[in-house]
Amino acid sequence: MAKIDDDYDPFAMFDAATGSGTVRDPYPKLAALRAGCPVHKGSIAAEFGLPEMPQPVMSERGEYYNALSHETVVRVLRDGETFSSRGYGASVGLVMGHSILEMDDPEHARYRALIQQAFTLREMERWEAKLVSPIVHRLIDGFVDRGRADLVRELTFPFPIQVIAGMLGLDEADLPRFHRWAVELISIGVDVQRGFAASQSLRDYFAGILAARRRAPDDDLISLLARAELDGQRLTDEEIFAFLRLLLPAGAETTYRSSSNLFFGLLTHPDQLDAVRRDRSLVRRAIEEGLRWEPPLTGIARTATRDVELGGVPVPAGAVVSVALGAANRDPARYPDPDRFDVFREPRPHVAFAYGAHTCLGMHLARMETRVVLEAILDRLRGVRLDPQVEDVHITGLGFRAPRRLPVVFGA
């Protein structure tokens, strides 16, 4: 979406590495695999005829398994002793630092208790009024009088990174390079050198800001992290840097994709869009259905700490188990007619934010941001609909999913 410094586009590179433009709809294939066995051994990428994608966690044995049913996914995520998060340390941990992503309990519980002080519902209410709503409405101001827009390029892509930057109290002028570093960071499997360079750049950038916030705290997120305390323990500088590196892609990439996916679902089901517009009590149900139907991140990974049987399949110690969140959310054993987008569906908890101890720390922020942007669209873009002159608008990707564009017209 934005290129600076050179001809290398980290956004396009990341999309290509995660199946965007290559995989249109992975769910029929995943359903067929799940119907054969709830746990699939081997490469999912190969099932789609793709070259092997960079693995977020490397197997000690060179063996990979995929939990595809809701039952097996929940079992893996519930049992942190058998299915450890530590494998992330040897991959994304190299650029993130030692973050909550790779921690197991009891370390994970201690660290999470400190971090979540900055993500309470009270804090979300403050950020909504101070930051999220003004950013969303300012972006809509830029196209509302035009009668048409690309909701991805002009709204859902830029607003989450602006929110994160605002929460951190960063200079708005730094946003382009800040966003670029975030994407280069999680593209380490594609370009190792750029991944490490982005990691160091972010550390250096945050070091000066953190030092200033420790001297003179403000009401931003970095100041909150700097003074967070539990039982006399505080976060070290390196722990804060690691969390901030993780927050960038987690807070920007996933929210942009989940809100884009929700809008695609509503725009391609105009009767449901009209129903949500008329009855705002459906907004929260629409958000949850969007997350279930098309989660932005389709899988995470764990490492087996012992020989175990999962879904009737023996999994050896040291093997990586890919936890297919997207497949679990489309499991017909849990969700009737799971491929249908339906805001009237009887609500049942999904796993788009994972499950158990590692449930996404930022889920309240993500839900709040999505609600704000959806209500703003409903309030301000009268008669919004997909542009009938633009063909073949669709969601794409395997590891991360989103539409590349959402051309809409409105106002008549």
Confidence check: pLDDT of 127 > 60: yes
State the Cα angle at 30 between 25 and 34, rounded to 5°: 160
**What is the average per-residue pLDDT within 14-38?**
87
Quickly list H helices, 234-335: 237-267, 270-278, 283-293, 325-328
Q: Which residues on adjacent β-strands are paired with residue 409?
A: 148, 385
Q: Taking residues 187-193, report their average pLDDT.
A: 73
Parallel, antiparallel or unpaired: strands 148-150 and 407-409: antiparallel
Given a contact cutoff of 8 angstroms between Cβ atoms, the answer to whether 295 and 258 are in contact is yes
Q: What is the mean pLDDT of residues 189-204?
A: 84
- The 10s digit of each residue's pLDDT in 18-29 is 777 789 999 999
User: Across residues 180-207, what is the average pLDDT?
Assistant: 83
Q: Which residues of 252-264 are buried (b: 16+ CB within 10 A; e: fewer)?
A: bbbbbbbbbbbbb
Question: Quick one: pLDDT at residue 248?
Answer: 79
Q: List C-alpha distances in Å: 222 to 44, 166, 381.
A: 38, 11, 35
Report the pLDDT value the prediction gives residue 54, as an integer from 0 to 100: 58
Instruction: List Cβ neighbours of 30 (8 Å cut-off, separation of 6 or more).
Output: 44, 68, 324, 326, 327, 330
Band of pLDDT at residue 172, cut at 50, 70 and 90? confident
| pLDDT at residue 53 greater than cutoff 60 | no
Per-residue pLDDT tens over the stretch 229-239: 877 888 899 99
Question: Which is more confident, 391 or 56?
Answer: 391
User: How do residues 302-358 score in pLDDT, each as one tens digit?
Assistant: 999 999 999 999 999 999 999 999 999 999 999 999 999 999 999 899 999 999 999
**pLDDT score, position 333:** 97
pLDDT for residue 2 is more than 50: no
Statement: residue 382 has pLDDT above 90: yes
pLDDT for 48 equals 82
What percent of the residues of the chain are helix, what percent strand, and what percent coil, each to the nearest 5? 55, 10, 35
E runs forming strands in 17-87: 39-41, 64-67, 83-84
pLDDT on residue 195: 82
Report which secondary-structure segment, H or E, holds 314: strand 313-315
Which percentage of the chain shows pLDDT scores above 70?
92
pLDDT of 81 over the 70 cut: yes
CA count, 13 A, side-chain hemisphere, 253: 27
Among the listed ranges 29-33, 109-113, 283-287, 385-389, which one has the minimum average pLDDT value?
A: 109-113
pLDDT at site 403? 96
**Which of the four pLDDT bands, split at 50, 70 and 90, describes residue 4?**
very low
More confident call, 10 vs 184:
184
Question: Helix (H, G, I), strand (E, B), or coil: what is residue 336?
Answer: coil
Task: Give CA separation, 312 vs 59, 61, 324, in Å.
Answer: 21, 20, 17
Query: From CA 282, how far away is CA 280, in angstroms rounded?
Result: 5
Over 60: is that where the pLDDT of 113 sits? yes
Q: What is the pLDDT of residue 247?
A: 86
> Region 357-374: what's the mean pLDDT?
94
For residue 344, what is the DSSP state?
Answer: T
Spatial CB neighbours of 173, under 8 Å, sequence gap ≥ 6 = none
Q: Tell me the domain boundaries of the chain.
A: 10-15+26-382
- What is the pLDDT, as a whole number, of residue 154? 97
CATH fold for domain 10-15+26-382: Cytochrome p450 (1.10.630)
Spatial CB neighbours of 222, under 8 Å, sequence gap ≥ 6? 168, 169, 206, 209, 210, 213, 240, 244
Between 273 and 15, residue with greater pLDDT: 273
User: Mind giving me the DSSP string for 46-61?
Assistant: HHTTPPPPPPSS--SS
Q: Is the pLDDT of residue 363 over 50?
A: yes
Task: Give the gyration radius of the chain's Cα atoms.
Answer: 21
State the average pLDDT for the chain.
90
